[in-house]
Chains A and B, each alone.
Chain A
């Protein structure tokens, strides 16, 4: 399993060009498609305090790497022109999973989604959610490769309960096992 990060850890990271070594923007928000289970892109702020929103966006494909200290792009040309920014921002507006209740197919409520867990340094697949449990505080749950989403509730397989983990490291190990289990059943 590659490096996992929370979506909120990606916010505020500088966006730096590999070929230029310049910080051209910083991450404003992570745009995620729950239906596809992957990162769609990033919306951006200008660099510097109170600098405001940048109209350009980054698509997941134009990102060279998301690391723990910076989002790397090859050069300025990775920034998507404002005219096409709707392609990214539109998906984000479609649906936001943060705040959704997570309920198993057996009808057990696990908690509320507070953050996403993404595989970074690759396609930006979202492999889990950070949740706030009704009892026991924060935890992570793995996601199936395909997830049906509707309304304000996420319905997850019953076996999710066995794979609730305390931290990202635990989640990283749990995702593959969880998905293997789903394939067998």
Chain B
């Protein structure tokens, strides 16, 4: 297993010319499929995205892609928000679907072989990635049962 926090700052290397193309800022989630959708390289106006399908190897020290062509400009509102860092899940507030604040995402683990998400670390607890319902600029929302009794 690899983790989002560990992946931040990792080098992106183009295989064809062994060139360094940038560093991973954070990872963008595909919530419906429970996996990484893309790598966000850089932040702000210069940020570029690398679709997970372009990743040849997500190694412990570097991420290997075919070449500079693997980087593309963000497309659409959601990817623009991602480029701005608004959808970065680490450090994000977590709300349950019943409206309870569960804490902040400290890290997310995933399988570097296929980009499938494992668990979110929220405070001292872990939440299975399958419980994720939505992520936006305000919060990540996770499925959780009804609120616990007041007494």
Binding site for B on A (CB under 8 A): 1-4, 13-14, 16-23, 64-72, 120-121, 168-169, 172-173
Contact = CB atoms under 8 A, between A and B. Distances in A.
Nearest to A171: B150
B97 interface: yes
Interface stretch (B5-13, B113-121, B138-146): B138-146
Nearest to B94: A21
Interface string B77-118: 000000000000000000111111100000000000000000
Contact of B150 (A4, A69, A71): A4
A20 B139 CA distance: 9
A68 B135 contact: no
Main secondary structure of the interface of B (DSSP, over half): loop
B15 interface: no
A3 B134 contact: no
B135 A65 contact: no
Q: Which 5 A-B residue pairs are closest in the complex by CB-CB distance? A: A67-B99, A21-B136, A69-B101, A22-B136, A23-B138
Given A3-B148, A67-B147, A68-B147, A21 B135 contact: yes
Contacts, number: 91
Main secondary structure of the interface of A (DSSP, over half): loop
Bin the interface of chain B by size: 20 to 34
A69 B141 CA distance: 12
A72 B151 contact: no
B136 A20 contact: yes
A150 B146 CA distance: 35
A18 B134 contact: yes
Contacts of B101: 68-70
B134 A21 contact: yes
A121 B150 CA distance: 12
Interface string B111-133: 00000000000000000000001
A3 B149 contact: yes
From B99, B150, B151, residue with most partner A Cβ within 10 Å? B99
A105 to B, nearest CB: 29
Contacts of B151: 1, 169, 172-173
Contact of A72 (B95, B140, B148): B95
B96 to A, nearest CB: 7
A22 B137 contact: yes
B134 A72 contact: no
Contacts of B139: 16, 21, 23, 70
